[in-house]
Structure 1
Amino acid sequence: MMTKTTQFLSAIEIETAPNPIYAIIWLHGLGADGNDFVPIVNELGLSAEKPTRFVFPHAPERPISINNGYIMRAWYDIFSSDFNDHQDESGIRSSQIAITALIEREMQRGISAKNIFLAGFSQGGALALHIGLRHSLRLGGIVALSCYLPLAKTFAAEINAMNAAIPIFMAHGSFDTVIPISNAVASRGKLLAADYRVEWHEYPMAHSVCGQEIADISNWLQRTLDDSGRI
């Protein structure tokens, strides 16, 4: 079943079976929209015994500094190719509020917080990390693809103990020139130093998604959905 929501952020929703007990909020990358990852629902091949609602929100449109102010869908502004440089903190936190509202809506629909997952690609993955580590209720897990840890200087002071054990899937392309893998490796190091559970995967690809990666995400999700259901 596929519908478009009109409340909160505009989004595409797909339910793998009636009466979902899990939810995955999947955030697209810069310049894309919620349609970008819709095909992954079938590709992941989640068990029918794990009815899941996928929510693919559309980021707001905003001018992007690194692209000469060109207006496109983005979760926050990008000022330069150095992701450790000045970051759009206000944009990140504004999107955090919007995505947190989607999490709360899933809870209002009857899905337990521990069965709600955040996933994303590029700046969508960065936002998934940012929100998941700070959320006040225990979430199911985070899928962070081809991304980095934003606002890394403040995350240690802002992380919430409720998600200290949240499982994290991180994956990156070794030939990524948009977000060099060194950024992701450094972010993984910060997470491991803070005792987070990170499953790391590296693929011989650019800033994209590959078939083996989708298979690995599926395997991780199947295992992690089972774990969240037992908590």
Structure 2
Amino acid sequence: MAAVGKLRMCAVSPSGKQSASVLFLHGSGDTGRGLRAWVRDVLGKDLAFSHIRVLYPTAPARPYTPMRGAPSTVWFDRRKISQDCPEHLESIDHMCDSLGAVIQDELNAGIPKHRIVIGGFSMGGAMALHLVCRQHPDVAGVFVFSSFLNKDSVTYQAVEERLRAGQSLPELLQCHGTSDDLVLHRWGEQTAALLDKAGMTTSFHSFPGLQHQLCRAELELLRSWILTRLPDTSSP
């Protein structure tokens, strides 16, 4: 396997002293810069905080099987876009290593693991679940938008094993538009149900009329949810 390389990064710095971090992973074919611009267009401003740095890494281009092997900025490969096929674990695990290096950079900068939240949109959400549930369960929270896991994902087993061992897992915030492809919305609901059955605390929110997109209401919900997990601890 190739050595882990540095990912291209786009970031929104806090207005004050940083004491926490958020990693927000883009969907397939997008970039970190593209996701930041999209969030800014929807909100009318950056997703920004006084004490939290928001990081938007970009996945390296790789051959993507659903596009007949054409290169795309995707976090991992898929044999096809389906809940029923096996996961491409080699590419998922390689990217867990790359994103783990991003987390380590934040730790090296003095940000504790319990002051980090990780999430993503679409494929970025699935990547975030693998990263958190399988390798970094001690972060402050995980969020996913318009996303799903395969039915037999190793993530469910990882959740069960960690909880049986007495380890804790962060809360999951999951959002999905009801006007996304009906199959995708159902897959999202099933993912939340399976994670909940495995023992993970989940909060699933449906947004009527929303397609495979971001909307202001869910980003405002995300902002409030982040602040409950990463409050500003600086002295007044």
* Distance in 2 of aligned mates of 1:187 and 1:228: 34
Does residue 180 of structure 2 align to residue 170 of structure 1? no
- Out of 209, 212, 226, which is 2:214 matched to? 209
- Out of 14, 23, 26, which is 2:21 matched to? 23
Amino acid at match of 1:133: C
Number of the residue aligned with 1:96 = 96
Greater shift, 83-92 or 181-190, is seen at 83-92
* Distance in 1 of aligned mates of 2:200 and 2:119: 17
SS in 2 for 1:190: helix
* Distance in 1 of aligned mates of 2:183 and 2:56: 22
CA contact (8 A) 2:24 2:119 kept: yes
User: Pairwise CA RMSD of aligned residues?
Assistant: 2.4
Deviation at 1:179? Answer: 6.4
Amino acid at match of 2:206: E
Name stretches of at least 5 consecutive residues in structure 2 with no aligned partner: none
Does residue 217 of structure 2 align to residue 220 of structure 1? no
Deviation at 1:98? Answer: 0.7
CA contact (8 A) 2:87 2:153 kept: no
Classify 1:32/1:153 alpha carbon distance in 2 versus 1 (closer, same or farther; 3 Å): closer
Which residues in structure 2 correspond to 1:64-103 (within 5 Å)?
64-103=64-103
Does residue 203 of structure 2 align to residue 199 of structure 1? yes
Greater shift, 76-85 or 170-179, is seen at 170-179
Deviation at 1:129? Answer: 0.8
Deviation at 1:64? Answer: 1.2
Number of the residue aligned with 2:191 = 187
Classify 1:81/1:107 alpha carbon distance in 2 versus 1 (closer, same or farther; 3 Å): same
* Distance in 2 of aligned mates of 1:179 and 1:19: 43
Classify 1:135/1:123 alpha carbon distance in 2 versus 1 (closer, same or farther; 3 Å): same
Deviation at 1:187? Answer: 0.7
Per-residue deviation, residues 129-181 of structure 1 (Å, max 9, x unmatched): 11111235610111111111257442244344586340111001112129611
Amino acid at match of 1:194: A
TM-score (norm 1): 0.86
* Distance in 2 of aligned mates of 1:96 and 1:200: 24
Amino acid at match of 2:55: V
Number of the residue aligned with 1:4 = none
Which residues in structure 2 correspond to 1:109-188 (within 5 Å)?
109-136=109-136, 138-150=138-150, 152-159=152-159, 160-161=162-163, 164-177=168-181, 180-188=184-192
Identical aligned pairs, as a percentage?
A: 22
* Distance in 2 of aligned mates of 1:19 and 1:113: 17
Deviation at 1:209? Answer: 0.6
Classify 1:130/1:150 alpha carbon distance in 2 versus 1 (closer, same or farther; 3 Å): farther
Deviation at 1:52? Answer: 0.9
Classify 1:76/1:192 alpha carbon distance in 2 versus 1 (closer, same or farther; 3 Å): same
CA contact (8 A) 1:178 1:207 kept: no
* Distance in 2 of aligned mates of 1:151 and 1:139: 24
